[in-house]
Amino acid sequence: MVTEKSDKLRETLSFYRDMYNDKVIFTTAWGYSGMVLLDHARKVWEHVPVLSINTGMLFSETVAFANRLHEQWDLALRWIGPTEGTHLPPAQECCNERKVLPLWYALEPYQAWVSALRWDQASTRKDSKEIETDRQGKIRLAPMLSWTSEECWKYIRDNDVPVQSLHEQGYRSIGCRPCTNLPTSGDERSGRWAGERQECGIHSEKP
């Protein structure tokens, strides 16, 4: 099953490359699903274009891992972040200022963006579609929706794909330091925002 999904993912990414050329970009927060996606992308894409958000509050392990992978995989990585003077308001406003708005601005030159969104990550993502139009009118592509956590980890083990050391410490979903804890249930994102919500606003308007 994983082999079949892997073959299909490579074919899909090749289609995206040919369809959108330089008007498509990958987004990642460097979690394990994103590593599966980027490992497939680099096999069909030269200098994979990547946007990543540095909120100024990421784990140091995340930033170090991303910069190391940037060099190892020859990614065309662009870090983006909050505008000058961004303050630290309540969590939803903080996510909006530090993550959502910077991403929307950075996506302006592109027609489409690719993420490692999966149905089994959270209940807020179970109705996601592979091709959707986001709130800014950009095409959001999610070719890994049907992949499960178990399938991702099998692919990682079988192909020696590097992952953040934080995953080895038990973190399943990794974001900013103040809002990331160990999971409190089987839900992959239950450790985010002290379990009060599951989304920052990029993939869903629902918290």
Catalytic residues: 200
Q: Cβ-count burial of 181 within 10 angstroms (0-12 exposed, 13-18 middle, 19+ buried)?
A: middle
Q: How many residues belong to the chain?
A: 207
Residue 25: phi and psi, rounded to 5, are -145, 150
Residue 140: phi and psi, rounded to 5, are -100, 125
Q: How far is residue 189's CA from residue 172's CA, in Å, rounded to a whole number?
A: 7
Q: What are the residues whose beta carbons fall under 8 Å from the beta carbon of 42, sequence distance 6 or more?
A: 48, 73, 74, 75
| Residue tagged 């509050």 (tokens) | 57
- The answer to whether the CB of 48 falls within 8 A of the CB of 133 is no
**DSSP string across 141-167:** E-TTTT--HHHHHHHHHHHT----HHH
- The answer to whether the CB of 98 falls within 8 A of the CB of 86 is yes
